Every structure is written in C-alpha cells, then in structure tokens.
Structure 1
Amino acid sequence: MPHDAAPAAPSIPVIDVAPFIAGGPAAGDVVRQLEAAARDTGFFLVTGHGVSPEVTDHLYTLARAFFDEPQDWKVGQGREATLEGGVSFSPLADEALAATLGLKTPGDYKESLNFGPRLKGGRWPAKPDGLEQAFVDYFAEMERLARHLRRAFCAAIGLREDHFEPCFDRHLSALRVINYPEQDEAPLPGQLRAGVHTDYGFMTILRSEASPGGLQVRTRKGEWLDAPNIEGAYVVNIGDAFMRWTNDEWVSTPHRVANPPGDRKGSARRQSIPFFLNPSAETVIACLEPFMRDGKAAKYEPITYGDYIALKTSQAFSKA
C-alpha cells in the first residue's frame, strides 16, 4: 500500500448467496465470504436470497395499518399471552434492550407486534384483515432462507450439512414487526429507538428500510457504522447463542437503532421486520468440536437454550 494511502474504512459486507442456494461452482466462495463476515463483524447483507417481495410487502403494509390505529386500542391487543401461536403487542418504551448489557436506560422508543408458532401470545386483532396469515407466510419465507444459511455455516465450520437441524425441531424462533414512530418531542436522556444490545439467539434476519435514525453496528474498535440499505437485501447477524457455540470465534456484535437527527427534514418514521432464529428450548448450547482444536478449551459450560433465553429476556424487561 502506498505510504500516503489511508486504510480502507470498515464496512459491512454484501454477499450474494444465490450461488450457494443453487449449488453452483461458486458456492465455496459464498461460504468463505460468510465465514469471514461471521468472524470479522458478525454482520453482513445478503442478496440473491429468493425471499418473495410480495409476501414481504404484504406483511409490511398490514403491520403499518395496525400501528396507525389509536394507541388506546393497540395496548389492549394480544395481552392474554395464553395462546400458542398468538400475537403480542409491546407498546412504546416497554422494552429497554441495553439492560441486557448491564446498562440502565429509559425504555426504547419503539412499539412492536410479535409472533412465533410455538410462542405464547393473545388473540389476533380483528383489524387489519389478514394480519395473522401475513405473519405466517413471511415466517415460512424466513425459515427457508434460514435453512440455506445454516447449511452454509456448517460448510464454513466443517460440520455435516444437517448438523444443526435437530436443534430447530420445534424451534422457538420469533418474528417481530417494529414501528419507530416520528419523534415529535426530544427523547429522554439516554433513550434511543433501540438501545445498544446483542441478539440472543442463533442469528437474526432483518428487513429494514432507509430513514433518518437507523441501524448502527459497533466495530471491534468501538466505531459505529451505519448499516447500508440496499433494495431487496436482508441484514443478517450472528446471535449470542451461536457465538457461544463457536467459542466466541464468530461474533455477536453490539448494535443499536439511533434517533433521527434533530434537524431532519421530512418523515423519520421507520418500520423494520426482524426474524430471530432460535433453537428449541431443549437444545444444549455447547462448544462445537472444530472450535476446540489445537488444545483450545471451551470458554463456557453447556446450557440449554431455554435457560439462556429466560435470563436474557428477564434482563431486557426488568424495571429495576
């Protein structure tokens, strides 16, 4: 490198996964790109994924219609938490994600609808019509993409292609649509749209959108990078449970959703759709053999995913 050349700025890689899904000659190159991203940043964008844009847009539109309803009606929806496969609504400032990292902040400036086929929720709201089916259809799209990515991760680690599949029998994955409303008043001190956190599970697949005040990822040097927005691409990141499985060699990276700048022009409302891929409650998270080669010891004792997620969730929703 020339003496006067500046080092390349850190960035979040964009990976076309179509050759791996198709099983073409370039599949190995996709695997190498995924492994490098998992080790270096824990975040990457995927294109060529095959997710239906029609299914995606339909969920986005119906969820937005729900969030446009009056707040006093919304807070009464999905509150029973007794129905498997029901829906739950989390109102503004109900969750403080930074608490999972030991940070005390005001509740995050967002509201969300949450669903998982094997998670407890309440009755689906009567409006907008078709909301439940839109969640179910999009969930199925994410399951298909997640299976492809799991196979690629196995190839990168040196495991059998189906190594993780028993862990995702009756998996506890969750689909969430998040609404970040306009901030017509200044946020409280320390309050963000979503406080700094890492995700709890295996991996997250996010459909996001461009708007002032968006997703930011913290590099190993402590710098905050704005996640790029590419039409049709999905943001993927490694979760805490997967990082633990890899003996911390693949990284679950802290990230946040920033507030829009105070001098913005136009709308700063934002809506995102994260799919949290989580194993079954009985799955034991224990260091994978390839990450204990050359005499390396496992950093963590085995733990079931059910115990692990219970601890993380209690931290996030603690009011103490």
Structure 2
Amino acid sequence: MQRETTPQVSEQTIPVIDVAPFITGGEGASDVVRQLETAARDTGFFLVTGHGVSSEITKRLYDLARSFFDFPQEWKVTQGRTTDLDGGVAFSPIADEALAATLGIKTPGDYKESLNYGPRLKGGAWPDQPAGLRQAFIDYFGEMERLAFHLRQAFCAAIGLPAEYFEPSFVDHLSALRVINYPEQEETPLPGQMRAGMHTDYGFMTILRSEASPGGLQVQRRDGEWLDAPNIEGAYVVNIGDAFMRWTNDEWVSTPHRVANPPGDRKGSARRQSIPFFLNPNAGTVIECLAPFTRHGKAAKYDPITYGEYIALKTSQAFSKS
C-alpha cells in the first residue's frame, strides 16, 4: 500500500465563490460547479458566499462560546472532560492537542482551547453556564448540515456522480462542531509552538467561520511559503479533507494549513475565535477510489479503509504525548 502524500497549493490565491445560484437552482449553477472543481483541484481551499447560513444563529453560538471561555481556567478544566454521553460536550484546554503530529512533526501543544460537539460523538455533561450553550451548538450544527448537503451535491456534479451518491455515507455521520479560542499570548510561545500547528483536516471537508485578527489562518503554497487566508465578512472558508482527497485518488487536494502566532509587535488585542465544522462520514463508510478518478487505466493509489479506522489513526496521532 502506498503511503499518503501531502499535496501543496498550486495557486497563490484562494478563490471566493458565490454558491447561491447552485443552492437556488438559478442561472449560473453550472458555473458554480466549475469554480468548485477548479478550487478543489488547484488549492483545496475556497471561500463561499451566498450560502444562506443564519447570521443570528452564528452570532449566538459565537457569543455564548466566548462567554464560556471567559470563565476561570480552574472551572473550565472541570467541564466536558468525560466521554460517557452521546452528544455531550468535550473541552480541550490549552496545549492539549498538537496537530502537527498528524504529519509526523513533533511540537509543543497548540496554543488554543476548544469546545467540541457532535450528536453521535462522546462527551461529558453540558455546563450550566452560560445558559443556552448546548442549544446554540445544536442550532448551528443544523445550519452546517444544510450547507454541507448543498456542497456535496455540487461536488457530485463536478465529479460526474449522481447527486445523491454520497448521501448513504452521511447517514449517522460523525461530523464535529468545534469552537476554538486563541487567547492573548502574554508570554512568548515555546519553540515550535503555534496557535495551531501545520496539519491537514482528517475528514470529508471543513467549513470554517473565522474572523480577522493578528495571527490567523495560513495556507501553504506549492513553494512552501505561507499565504494568509482572506477574511470576508459573512463568508465561510471551505477546505477539502484527507478522506475526500483519498476518495478522489489525490486529484482533489487536502492542503496543509496552520494558525500563526500573532506578531510580537502587534498593537491591540490578538485574541481570536473560530468555528470549524468538520464534515465526516459514518464509521462504516469505505473510503476507496471513485470510478471517475481511475479512467484511462489510472490505478488507485490506496487500499480501501473504513472511515472509522482512518479517523482513529489520525486522532491518536494528534493527541499522542509520546
């Protein structure tokens, strides 16, 4: 079995795509499909506008999560630290995770903390405060499911698959919603420590709500240089994940990215909060090369693997303390 490679960005810009024509079935839907296919092949990253995600639901989750992160650390670390409830919450404190480890790079833990939720993922009891936090996660998760459905259908159109091809893989899907707090860095980070180390995302795709601040999302170009992701009010950053790259025989790329530390000479606040939605198939889904990517005698690069097996490997790497 061939070892997976790490593709890099072949373009120096991250495209912005208005997906409203595809979602509404209006004129220009085919052009949206063309733009999505080009972005998936060339960069693995793109921004979407015209997505229809509720700004009110987004703001409620953002504000309530921020209130949680403002509580004292000694209280936060007692929350969401068990795995006895389906659909519970998980809290990951600062330096608990080192994402670069999934690429075989050993670094100190990432300088961030997060709240994590998925309806079919294990977690602990939800905190009593701030009130409404659980419902805010549930409501936003639903918004992301709707957008992800439209994007899956657009991807099918781009690949030449029936519109519902991927849907059986997303029955009882293992998607996760995370709110990440990147606090002020009052002390110099440890050597090699970043807000989030270089990594690729594990699953099908990621839909990210980000914000402008010093020390933000960076995407790696083909030449190894880092490109700052643009921030457009109301837009979402979307990127292809490792499992989807594997499905497409590496033709659609899962691109390395990171969250940089703020510059040492910054003025004002560098606190940052982001909300990624990781769209993951169900555990039994077999990830194997799609037929359109083996045309003209091209061989499949990887052996089939279930998503459950794949995600277990990736997660163990990210949280390894060895």
Aligned match of 1:112: 114
Aligned match of 1:283: 285
Alignment match of 2:94 (pick from 92, 112, 128): 92
Aligned match of 1:251: 253
Deviation string 1:242-285 (CA, Å, 9 cap, x unpaired) is 00000000000000000000000000000000000000000000
Give 1:1-320 correspondences, 5 Å limit. 10-320=12-322
| 1:221 to partner: Cα distance | 2.2
Give, in whole Å, the separation in 1 of the partners of 2:298 and 2:38: 20
Unaligned stretches of 5+ in structure 2?
1-10
Give, in whole Å, the separation in 1 of the partners of 2:303 and 2:82: 35
Counterpart amino acid of residue 256 in structure 2 = P
Deviation string 1:96-118 (CA, Å, 9 cap, x unpaired) is 00000000000000000000000
Percent of matched pairs sharing the same residue: 82
Q: CA RMSD in A?
A: 0.6
| 1:180 to partner: Cα distance | 0.1
Find the residue that maps to 1:273 and give its secondary structure: strand
Counterpart amino acid of residue 300 in structure 1 = Y
Deviation string 1:204-245 (CA, Å, 9 cap, x unpaired) is 000000000000000122121100000000000000000000
| 1:79 to partner: Cα distance | 1.2
Aligned match of 2:8: none
Give, in whole Å, the separation in 2 of the partners of 1:81 and 1:210: 33
Give, in whole Å, the separation in 1 of the partners of 2:145 and 2:321: 33
Give, in whole Å, the separation in 2 of the partners of 1:118 and 1:292: 33
Give, in whole Å, the separation in 2 of the partners of 1:223 and 1:91: 30
Give, in whole Å, the separation in 2 of the partners of 1:243 and 1:198: 11
Give, in whole Å, the separation in 2 of the partners of 1:295 and 1:197: 32
Counterpart amino acid of residue 247 in structure 1 = N
TM-score, structure 1 as length reference: 0.97
| 1:83 to partner: Cα distance | 0.1
Deviation string 1:141-184 (CA, Å, 9 cap, x unpaired) is 00000000000000000000000000000000000000000001
Give, in whole Å, the separation in 2 of the partners of 1:223 and 1:292: 32
Give, in whole Å, the separation in 2 of the partners of 1:299 and 1:113: 36
Aligned match of 1:3: none
| More moved, 17-26 vs 231-240 | 17-26
Give, in whole Å, the separation in 2 of the partners of 1:37 and 1:59: 29
Give, in whole Å, the separation in 2 of the partners of 1:39 and 1:68: 40
Aligned match of 2:4: none
Counterpart amino acid of residue 257 in structure 1 = V
Find the residue that maps to 2:309 and give its secondary structure: helix
Unaligned stretches of 5+ in structure 1?
1-8
Give, in whole Å, the separation in 2 of the partners of 1:303 and 1:219: 29
| More moved, 42-51 vs 217-226 | 217-226
